[in-house]
Amino acid sequence: MKQYLGAHLSVGKGYKDIVERAIAIDANTFAFFLRNPRGGSMRALDEADLAAARELMAEHNFGPLVAHAPYTMNPAGNKESVLEFADLAMSEDLTRLDYLPGSYYNFHPGSHVGQGATKGIEKISEFLKRMLDRELRSVVLLETMAGKGTEIGRSFEELAQIIENVNRPDVLGVCFDTCHVADSGYDLKNDLDAVIEEFDQVIGLEHLKALHINDSLNEVGSRKDRHARLGEGTLGWDTIVKLITKPEFENIPKILETPTDEAGYAEEIKELRQRSRQ
């Protein structure tokens, strides 16, 4: 079974560098921020660096990459400056991803900050209609959320409503985060197959384009979003391995966001590859 496994790495030294570091930890995909995760401007365009990265990834048979939007991007916000930044950030980021065709652009749908989930979903949907009204060489992903505060995306139904409103299945999908899904109340450890079946019934597995592979420090339904290293949380190795070895997820990039460093990621990727072959 083909496993596209990787981790969230820093692009601070450029794209060729990040690909080389991914290869060093036996990854064949990775996630990265296109700009500071707390906002700010995008790194300067270096077409030669991006071309070298594309060439190196092709040589090593990489799967799709998973770029991540800044955490401060909130298209469901109630302040004009916040909404303006959301438009600017995603528009610029998607333009930059044209240099890495076939990538995914993952983002936290947003928080309604007291406006109510219905209003938040409406604003996110309208935002995505604007952002996706152009020729794209990447696919935008809504991330499943843990349900902290007023987060949108704490249930499959909320994500399904956005997808239905936007109606662009060619360029809009979902990134399934194991820690977030469990923390939001879905019992992956004891009822994994039923959770996947529910996702399929509510959203549709055809929309699931990437996995964030994280253990959780908290019990199911905690709504706290506290990632743990694999095997050191309440999900455990068996749950994670059972999920990533499902045949329908064979060609989906699987990204570690566990609290560790690159050496730790190398250990987790090695263990995942060994366990998924058993």
278 confidence band (pLDDT: 50, 70, 90): low
Whole-angstrom distance, CA of residue 170 vs CA of residue 29? 21
Q: What is the CATH number of the domain that holds 142?
A: 3.20.20.150
Give the range of the structural domain holding residue 221, as residue numbers without chain letter. 5-277
- Reference 25, options 271, 269, 220; nearest CA is 269
Contact 160, 197 (CB under 8 A): no
- What phi and psi values does residue 253 have, to the nearest 5 degrees? -65, 135
| Separation CA 186–CA 213 (nearest Å) | 15
| 277 confidence band (pLDDT: 50, 70, 90) | confident
Q: Which tens digits make up the pLDDT trace of 143-194?
A: 999 999 999 999 999 999 999 999 999 999 999 999 999 999 999 999 999 9
Cα-Cα-Cα-Cα dihedral sign, residues 80, 68, 21, 49: negative
Q: CB of 91 within 8 A of CB of 57?
A: no
Residue 1 pLDDT greater than 80, yes or no: no
pLDDT digits (tens, 9 = 90+) for 74-127: 999 999 999 999 999 999 999 999 999 999 999 999 999 999 999 999 999 999
The count of structural domains within the chain is 1
